[in-house]
Amino acid sequence: MNTPRIEDYAVIGNCETMALVSRNASIDWLCLPRFDSEACFAALLGDGGNGYWHLAPTDDGAQGKRRYRGGTLVLETEFTTTEGSVVVIDCMRAHDGDDGVDVLRLVRGLRGKVPMSMRLCLRFGYGQAVPWVTRTKDGRVQAMAGPDRVILSTPVTLRGEDLTTLADFSVGEGEEIPFALTWRQSWRPLADAPDVAAGIAAETDEWKRWSARYDDAGAWDGAVLRSLITLKALTHRETGGIVAAATTSLPEEIGGERNWDYRFCWLRDSTLTLFALTESGYIDEAAAWRQWLLRAIGGDPAHPRIMYGVGGERHLTELELPWLAGYEGSKPVRIGNAASGQLQLDIYGELMDSLYHARRVGLDELDACWDLQRLLIGHLETIWRDPDEGIWEIRGPRRQFTHSKVMVWVAVDRAVRTIEEFGEKGPLEHWRELRQAIHDDVCAHGFDRELGSFVQSYGSKAMDASLLQIPLVGFLRADDERVRGTIAQVEKRLLEGGFVHRYNTDSDVDGLPGDEGVFLACSFWLADCMVLQGRMDEARALFERLLALRNDVGLLAEEYDPKARRQLGNFPQAFSHISLVNTAHNLSRASKPAEKRAGRGTQG
């Protein structure tokens, strides 16, 4: 089994979990019932023996093309063969009232009579556990392993061979052959076989109703809507948490070690997520995200984690799975994320910025929220001078990262502005003095006069794309000479193929071997800075180049390799799609998110 490129996958999901579907209609990754549950299809990170579900014509020369139904996450893959043509329609649905999940697949004949093949290889426990397979009383195939049970429902004749369930059948013009894979906890009663056609129709209608709320973004409305649908699909319907990606261990370098689990919710994404949702008219989703945020940090507000599980879980123990060969040999495959225990001072700025802007866009104020914010600032005041692991979650020594200190300033600035603008009570003068002290510290130690630029960490000469946030958060104006010099240094030292690296990996900053691709969110940040500098033509050109990196159904991973011209990293990446939405709004709207975020707190 040849592993497709990352960009060769589309996704389907039910706002609880997500499956990756290849161009040849093979589902190669699926965790059930939640984004961060164990995978039952893990061929993406191993081979066919680690689980997949393939449904396609038997003709190896079949030509395929795919699309999403407009405004939905319902995927259609159309195959043309010498015998005719068919379309495979894929989507997922959640059960009402319990944890059940349906993966729905419908084969519809369009022309002629096309021979088809179905191969279902279930492997629970991330591709390791072979299930016990039996038949139910009504003839369906049932596979169980520990807490997991999956039922395959279809009218076609099924057979078992080499621990795989197989079917061969033909579809004529106008015929429809349904398949449903239903997950439910193994101790619960059997679920009835779902009506596949009705389920797909209902899912289509639900997505279309959701998409109809979208507030048009002008010339790029199609790209923005697809990104918003992707963000919605990465949002857990009950908790409101938004996972960074649907996958783990898709590499930042093919064959390398930079393989991390992104199926968790990062606090760092919070402000940009709020902007992307509220500027697009999705106030309910923004409110749900804020509720998740407050619940997650509420247990120990003085010591927030940088990331949490979908339900707000704090302990995300990192493990390696040696039985998986890794995507194109990229090992180790990891689950959990040890970075969850790091000190990253910038998250205090993201938290305070998120809660401040939630007020500004009119979200109802929540009881005790300001008390929580005061606790956060009180704790931050005692630790802000400490070194940390920084925005990129380095696994080397802690440093005095300039971006971290800038975001500490943001935290205190938003606390000051909350008192000034909304009348909350707090030590206003003291916080104003603290804000100025932090600003002075950053300008004295984070700026290199010889380079005419801010630098990655105090005393270093290294550049870091996180410094692009300096004008975007309002620390300094975009026309400040120091900011102009910083943006110029980023463009001089971190660009490759017209896109932005996070930092130079040949330095010792992260303590890891190997390289990585350009970071797509940082490239969008550069476009945002260009907008603030009035370089609109350059910003549009960069944005259009970034849009061209999306795959055929509009999806982006975390990174891109300009040399190999392929996407890298976990997929689809929320941070990339959030940044796409915000940059589109910065370019197309008179009231720009970047200007709103910087606000009147911008210092000279």
Q: How far apart are CA 337 and CA 334, in angstroms?
A: 8
DSSP state of 410: H
Report the predicted TM-score, pTM, of the whole model to 2 decimal places. Answer: 0.96
Q: Give the pLDDT score at 507.
A: 57
Q: What is the pLDDT of residues 5-37, one digit of tens each?
A: 999 999 999 999 999 999 999 999 999 999 999
Reply yes or no on whether the pLDDT at 299 is more than 90.
no
Reply yes or no on whether the pLDDT at 410 is more than 90.
yes
Reply yes or no on whether the pLDDT at 193 is more than 80.
yes
Q: Give the pLDDT score at 217.
A: 62
284 Cβ contact list (under 8 Å, min separation 6): none
Q: How far apart are CA 56 and CA 16, in angstroms?
A: 26
Structure-model confidence comparison of residues 378 and 590, the more confident one: 378
* Phi-psi label, residue 111: left if phi above 0, alpha if psi -120 to 50, beta otherwise: beta
Please check whether residue 127 is in contact with residue 51, taking contact to mean a CB–CB distance below 8 angstroms. Answer: yes
Q: What is the mean pLDDT of residues 395-424?
A: 96
Q: What is the pLDDT of residues 525-576, one digit of tens each?
A: 999 999 999 999 999 999 999 999 999 999 999 999 999 999 999 999 999 9
Q: Which domains does the chain have, with CATH numbers?
A: 6-210 (2.70.98.10), 221-601 (1.50.10.10)
Reply yes or no on whether the pLDDT at 508 is more than 70.
no
From 475, 298, 303, select the one nearest 383 (Cα to Cα): 303
445-to-344, 516, 557 alpha-carbon distances in Å: 19, 28, 35
Q: Give the pLDDT score at 298.
A: 78
Q: Give the pLDDT score at 368.
A: 77
Please check whether residue 410 is in contact with residue 352, taking contact to mean a CB–CB distance below 8 angstroms. Answer: yes
The residue written with tokens 């979208």 in the block is: 214
Reply yes or no on whether the pLDDT at 601 is more than 60.
no
Beta carbons within 10 angstroms of residue 505's beta carbon: 17
Lowest mean pLDDT among 29-33, 190-194, 309-313, 409-413: 190-194
From 120, 206, 212, 196, select the one nearest 160 (Cα to Cα): 120
Amino acid at 209: R
466 Cβ contact list (under 8 Å, min separation 6): 390, 391, 392, 401, 402, 403, 456, 502, 522
DSSP state of 449: T
* Residue 572 preceded by cis peptide, ω within 30: yes
Q: What is the pLDDT of residues 339-348, one digit of tens each?
A: 988 999 999 9
Residue 509 binned pLDDT confidence (cut-offs 50, 70, 90): low
Q: Give the pLDDT score at 524.
A: 98
Reply yes or no on whether the pLDDT at 66 is more than 90.
yes
